[in-house]
Structure 1
Amino acid sequence: MLKHIPNLITSLNVLCGCVAIFFAVSGDLVTASYFVFTGIFFDFFDGLAARLLNAHSEVGLQLDSLADMVTSGVAPAIVMVQLLSESSLGSPLQVGETFFAEGWNTGWHNYLPLIGLLIAVASGYRLAKFNVDTRQTTSFIGLPTPANALLVLSLPLILAYQSSEIAETIILNPWFLTILTLLSCILLNAELPLFALKFKTWDFKSNAKRYIFLGICLLAIVLLKFIAIPVILLVYIVLSLVWKEL
């Protein structure tokens, strides 16, 4: 019975991703963000549970990637589509709109929101590479999909809870969102070595970089709230590049 607990936790990740997609399609990006965050929480603990219970399995490995595709691939892609729609068309897309509906055939800029779907494509490719790349057993090559999802989902939360004229001007700029989408797709699949938050032991010496990073994360969250998420992602990349020996 215990061996099924990790897969149960991963299944909760899938469920959270599905609910997040439902709310994202409906235009409720804040609720979608909360469900993605919850799904990523389950994603962190399914691996921990598997190690503690010694319940690793090939099914669990495949299920984990499929869960990431839903929660950290498709859900943030739809959120980005909605953000691009709001920035370029003035409102999120509504369920039932098609390419032939009124408002979708008046100019190329009306199709700009579809660029957000590239996040799902890039995430799927990144996860497929991860499954066959033997180099990524203790670290990552390219930005993990949950980290990319957190970046995208931080945007509607910043707009909802830390809104300012500067924040709205930047985040609701269609060119900013387009560049961010393309940049995230590149980072997901770049040959970029990044450390993983996997603790084999709990001593400080062998985990110094991880403990320092977690301390920075905690401080940033307290001081910056949701704005901390893109800051933390930047710190994560920089710390991985300049402190390679750990």
Structure 2
Amino acid sequence: MIRQLFDPANAVTAAGLVLSVIAISLALSGRVELGVAVALWALLADHLDGLVAQRLTTRAERTGEVGKNLDSLADLVSAGVFPGIALLVVGGSAALFTAVAALLAGASALRLSYFNVFGSPDGRFIGVPTTYAVPLTAIMFLARPVVAEQLFPNLFAVALVVLAGLHVAPIRVPKTTGFMYFVVTAFCALSSLFLVLRGFGF
């Protein structure tokens, strides 16, 4: 099993998973902005592993299958679990917020499982990809200073509920390609910088 991680694409995916666990740890310690910043880099790892895999011309088929499932599990942690934990940290463990976190995790797991079986017909995803939860979370926390403290957890919860519904909705979403990779990379880099600065009190 360990040998599968010597595959460059799988190694990138595993690195993203490690970053997601670090993001969760930071959030649980109360440094949520720093956790979101790290989660954005986990998202970049998720985009990078696919690009690396496309360039591995001698990759074994089974290694690719392991990578596909590893990628889904990593996405579940970064996009299905981390945003819910961030919500529970800022909103408390009220039943409503716990239900929202569970809903997002369940919708993410279903979306990823469906993708592993049915793929992306015609080059388009069915349902909004789970990874969209990370930039949504970043946007919410970037806007946090201008939102009333008591209102923020509720707005964040509503945003996650809507996204959970979109994960399993029968809509077609184009894949990230070409120039959009640059847009995603720039967003993650700049947003993480702002969140890190805020997390350290600047």
What TM-score bracket applies, with the shorter chain setting the length?
0.7 to 0.9
Cα displacement string for residues 47-67 of structure 1 (whole angstroms, at most 9, x for unaligned residues): 100101233611111111111
Q: Which residue of 2 aligns with 1:36?
A: 39
C-alpha displacement of 1:158: 2.8
Distance 2:91 2:100 in 1: 7
CA RMSD of aligned residues (A): 2.7
Cα displacement string for residues 213-238 of structure 1 (whole angstroms, at most 9, x for unaligned residues): 678x58x96xxx75xxxxxxxxxxxx
Partner SS state of residue 191, structure 1: coil
Cα displacement string for residues 177-202 of structure 1 (whole angstroms, at most 9, x for unaligned residues): 33222211101111111100135xxx
How many residues in Structure 1 have an aligned counterpart in Structure 2?
180
C-alpha displacement of 1:14: 0.6
1:116 aligns with 2:100: yes
1:70 aligns with 2:55: no
Distance 1:131 1:68 in 2: 12
Q: Which runs of 5+ in 1 are unaligned?
A: 86-92, 94-109, 200-210, 227-246
Higher radius of gyration, 1 or 2: 1
Native 8 Å contact 1:82 1:113 kept in 2? no
Partner SS state of residue 53, structure 1: coil
Q: Which runs of 5+ in 2 are unaligned?
A: 192-202
TM-score of the pair, normalised by structure 1: 0.64
AA aligned to 1:9 is: V
C-alpha displacement of 1:136: 4.3
Q: Which residue of 1 aligns with 2:90?
A: 83
Q: Which residue of 2 aligns with 1:185?
A: 164
More relative contact order, 1 or 2 (CA 8 Å, 6+ apart): 2
AA aligned to 1:132 is: V
Instruction: Show the 5 A alignment for 1:93-172.
Output: 110-117=94-101, 118-136=103-121, 138-159=123-144, 163-164=145-146, 167-168=147-148, 172=152
Instruction: Show the 5 A alignment for 1:230-241.
Output: none
- Identical-pair percentage: 27
Native 8 Å contact 2:87 2:157 kept in 1? no
Partner SS state of residue 170, structure 2: coil
Distance 2:98 2:122 in 1: 34
The structure 1 segments of at least 4 consecutive aligned residues displaced by more than 4 Å after TM superposition are: none
AA aligned to 2:139 is: S
Distance 1:172 1:9 in 2: 34
